[in-house]
Structures are given as C-alpha cells and as structure tokens.
Amino acid sequence: MYILNCKQNEGDSLPKDLRLLFAASGDIRNVVTTLAELPSSFSGKCDVVINDMDPDIVARNTILLLIALHYEPEQAGMMMIHLWYSALISAEMLKSLRDNILPLIEDVRTKIKDKPPTSLQSKKWTYGSRSLRLVLKKSEWCLLPSYFQVPSSLSATKAQEIRISTTLAPSRKDYVDRALYSRPPAWRVCMMKFRQNGILLPFGLPRDEFNTPNPTFYQADDFWPMMDSANPVQGWPVKDWVNKAPAKKDIYGSLFIYIRKVLLRFCQRITELDVQFQLLQVNALKLPETIKICGVGKHSFDRIEVSNITDMAYLGPHQTLITFGPLLKIKLQNTHATLLTLFLNATHEMRMTQPAETSLESQVNQLAQYMKPSAEMLRNASGFSAEIIKTQEALGFFCDYDALFELFMKHYGFKNAASLSGLEMKGENTIQDNWPLRLRKGATQEEFELLVASGHTGSERYVEWRVAR
C-alpha cells in the first residue's frame, strides 16, 4: 500500500522536505510501494521513519534496506525478494551478505561492547545522498549478527522438514483443505508446491541453487516461526499481480514478477533521492518520545501510517489519535498531511452484536447472482459440506459493512477521539479507498471469483485523518 497518492493530493507540489512515518510497519511493503511511486519531479529531501516492536521484523527490515542501498538495483531486487519470502536461499547469496552487510553490524557491536545493555545506541550508514540510521538498545544490536548465521546443526533438508511439519501438519489437514477448496484448481497446485518448498519462484523454474536455510527465518534449528497459513499472495493486492506471468495461472510466478518489478523500481528510485531511512524498535506508545530524542518533534510528518493498531485488540482509536495526532503537520505546513488508520476487526466485532437474521435474506439474494446452489449443497443443507462452508464465507462479501462501521464509530466515540486529538476524519479518503478489498456493486463474475480466491473478506476499512485547524 502506498501512502502518498500524490495525484489526488499534493500533485507536483510536494513539500521540499518530505517526512513519512510508518509507526507499526510490519515488513517494508508500504515503504517500498510508496517510494517506488514517488513522482520523478520530486527532488527534495525525504525522511522515512520505520518502527516496529518485533525484533525479527526490525532485523529483517534493516537487512533488506541495507541490501537496497549497498547493491546495484537489479541484484538488490533479486536478493531482497528471496531474503524476504523464500525459506531457502543460495549459499552464494548468504556469502555475499556475510561479506558485505554483516561487517557493518559487527563494527557497531565492537564499538559499543562496553555500553550498558539497555542504553540506546545508533549508527548511520551513508551511501552518497542516501543513508540508513538504526537506533537500538545495545542488547538488541548484539543479536543482529545471528540473522546472518544459519544454526550449525541445520541443513537445508532438515530445515525443509521442520517447515513442512508446520505447513503440512496432519493436524492442519482440514484447514488446508478448506483453504484450497475456495481456490481455482491451478491455484491449489501452486499453493501446495509453496507449502512444500517455500521458495518464491515461477512454478517451472529450477530450485537447485536454493540450498541454504534463510537465517532470517531459522533462528533456531527446530522451529519454523510462522503459521502454516502464512502466504505471500495475501500480502499484496491480488488485482495488481494476478496474471502477470506468461503462464497466467501460475500465481507465485505472477507474484514473483510483480514484486521483482516493484523492488527494482524502488531500488532505482532511491538512487536518485536524498533519502534518509531511520529504523526504530519501540512500543508504538513510546514512539513520539523516542523520535523526539532522535531530533524529530511535533508537527513533523506529511504522512503517518499506523497499520491496524487502531483495532481494539491493540491501542484502539482514542489512544492512536492522541499519540500520533501531534506528530502530523498542520495545514499551514501541508494541507494534505494525513494519518492513515486501518481497521481489520471493527466490523466483525459489531457483527457479533447483531441478530444473525438482520440482513441474511438480502445477502443470500445478492450471492445468488454469483453462486447457484449445487445439488450437493441442497442434499447437505444442514451439514458441513465444503460447498456450504464456501457459501457461508462468500455471504460475508454482501454484508452491510458501512452500517456496521457506523455502529463501531458511535460505540467507540470517534468524534470525541478526534476532538481530543485535534484531528478530523476526512469526508472522503484521498489516499486509500475506504473499502479497498470490498466487492464493488455490479462486480463481474470474474471479480467475485478473484475475491473468493484471494482469502480476503472485503471488510478491511481505511480511515484517514487530518489536523482540524
């Protein structure tokens, strides 16, 4: 997801000093897509602050960005895609990382060896007009070299066995079958192959050179750190990458080609920029205090993206707006400065409070335009056949999510939260669609089937905020 969308906002009038904050970044997808789409007319300075409290995420993001800065764009893009997504990488690639990137980390670790374990230590690496600054506690710096080291007892064969014990665990067979049933037959074949080898490549390409466990995944010799359902195809908008491969039904081939293109564009674009990346590893609530120590104060950012920490399971809307509202540029600085918030669970939370029959008839009638009851479904109307499960999932596409989100906003006092934080909700989003994954009215059969196959629910809601005055 890009967080600028200059065409609908600043146009060619971006601020001379552009500042972006990814407050709970997860991986660097949004960073990459945003800078890859930065207009060629922009020639100012770009400061990008990237924070996440998960040490594995911060370590991987640091290594990926150092690759982008250190290597030529073509080579960097290929290295990034496999370090990011492939369970196995080539021995040659790991050697290059150990020869070129690891010494940068080791040098810092040597220099700070006598510092207190909890003291904040920073290092800035400069590549011409580009730089990366990493701020970590001394104890966290000491862990970074392990992301370049495969556990001594872990062979590629054993690594694959460990991974498969999760991705193809007998106890998960029913869940795997359910997931595959909603996908087209060709997708099922591709997905099973990825569950088996975990290498992001077009279907028919040889995998012989992928002979080394990816050490950013395998920090232990007996554990695969992700859920069996973790799948890169759900991390990128399906409409952007589907059918990109010569073999149109090769979904991982299509995704590989799409991501490679985005990464190449990103790596090429940053060679032309005066850009500074700053990576942090703190709780989002402490981020304003930490970046103040780093020299960044109030009203500094043109865009702040907080992922879904606005969900009630995390900070919630009140705490998020109060924490990050003061960091957003005021209108005199940039009338388009925006705080982007994502709600993944809000409508589901409200749906649980509503009678099941409230809109069921309407949903069934709309679904009937795309899915006709099969003979099997009618025979097993009271059972739990795969067809019934698929139908129940598809019914959700026609739920009145607008009404549910209105209930959520009233229940949790969005107007009061905005008032307390000095923000206001935009009448219309100008960066991301309110419901970017929802089935549009009048959607074609192909669009419906693609949403079913994507694994998304359509209930994902973006809300954009700006300074009120």
The pLDDT tens digits of the residues spanning 255-271 come to 999 999 999 999 999 99
Percentage of the chain exceeding pLDDT 70: 97
Domain ranges of the chain: 6-339
Poorest-pLDDT segment among 51-55, 104-108, 226-230, 393-397: 393-397
Q: 């409508």: which residue's tokens?
A: 347
Virtual CA dihedral for 235, 428, 394, 258, nearest 10 degrees? Answer: -30
pLDDT for the residue 195: 97
pLDDT for the residue 391: 85
**Statement: residue 104 has pLDDT above 70:** yes
Instruction: State pLDDT tens for residues 154-166.
Output: 999 999 999 999 9
pLDDT for the residue 356: 64
Q: Phi first, then psi: what are they for 135, rounded to 5°?
A: -120, 115
Q: How far apart are CA 217 and CA 85, in angstroms?
A: 9
pLDDT for the residue 390: 85
pLDDT for the residue 235: 92
Transcribe 236-263 into DSSP letters.
S-HHHHTT-SSSTT-HHHHHHHHHHHHH
* 458 contact partners, CB below 8 Å, separation of at least 6: 396, 397, 401, 435, 437, 438, 439, 451
pLDDT for the residue 260: 97
Tokens coding 179:
């997931």
**Statement: residue 345 has pLDDT above 60:** yes
Transcribe 146-185 into DSSP letters.
GGG---TT--HHHHHHHHHHHHT-GGGHHHHHHHHHTS-H
From edge to edge, which strands make up the β-sheet containing 17-22? 120-127, 130-137, 274-280, 45-51, 17-22, 303-305, 338-343, 461-467, 423-425
pLDDT category, 374, cuts 50, 70, 90? Answer: low
In contact, 55 and 22? CB cutoff 8 Å: no
Range 373-382 average pLDDT: 60
- Listed in sequence order, the DSSP H helices in 372-464 are 375-379, 386-395, 401-411, 414-421, 445-454
| Comparison of pLDDT for 449 and 389, the residue scoring more | 449
**Statement: residue 424 has pLDDT above 70:** yes
pLDDT for the residue 383: 59
**Statement: residue 4 has pLDDT above 60:** yes
Secondary structure of the chain: what % helix, strand, coil (to 5)? 45, 15, 40
pLDDT for the residue 32: 98
Nearest to 32 by CA among 246, 238, 258: 258
pLDDT for the residue 377: 62
**Statement: residue 210 has pLDDT above 80:** yes
pLDDT for the residue 381: 58
Range 288-301 average pLDDT: 91
pLDDT for the residue 382: 58
Poorest-pLDDT segment among 16-30, 41-55, 127-141, 361-375: 361-375
pLDDT category, 279, cuts 50, 70, 90? Answer: very high
Helix axes 386-395, 360-367, angle to 10 degrees: 110
Listed ranges 87-96, 289-298, 378-387, 452-461; the one with the highest mean pLDDT: 87-96
**Statement: residue 173 has pLDDT above 90:** yes
pLDDT for the residue 373: 65
**Statement: residue 426 has pLDDT above 80:** yes
**Statement: residue 233 has pLDDT above 70:** yes
pLDDT for the residue 77: 98
Range 366-381 average pLDDT: 73
In contact, 284 and 51? CB cutoff 8 Å: yes
Q: Which pairs with CB-CB distance under 8 Å and at least 24 residues apart come from 349-353?
A: 349/312, 349/408, 350/404, 350/405, 350/407, 350/408, 350/411, 351/399, 351/404, 353/407
Range 236-263 average pLDDT: 94
Instruction: State pLDDT tens for residues 49-78.
Output: 999 999 999 999 999 999 999 999 999 999
Q: Which pairs with CB-CB distance under 8 Å and at least 24 residues apart come from 455-459?
A: 455/179, 455/182, 455/231, 455/233, 455/234, 456/234, 456/238, 457/396, 457/397, 458/396, 458/397, 458/401, 459/344, 459/347, 459/348, 459/396, 459/399, 459/401, 459/435
pLDDT for the residue 457: 87
**Statement: residue 88 has pLDDT above 60:** yes
**Statement: residue 416 has pLDDT above 70:** yes
Range 313-340 average pLDDT: 96
Q: How far is CA 20 from the centre of its chain?
A: 16
| Averaged pLDDT score across all residues of the chain | 93
**Statement: residue 191 has pLDDT above 70:** yes
- 81-97 exposure pattern, b = at least 16 Cβ within 10 A, e = fewer: bbbbbbbbbbeebbebb
Range 316-324 average pLDDT: 96
Q: How far apart are CA 89 and CA 64, in angstroms?
A: 14
Question: Cα-atom radius of gyration of the chain, to the nearest Å?
Answer: 23
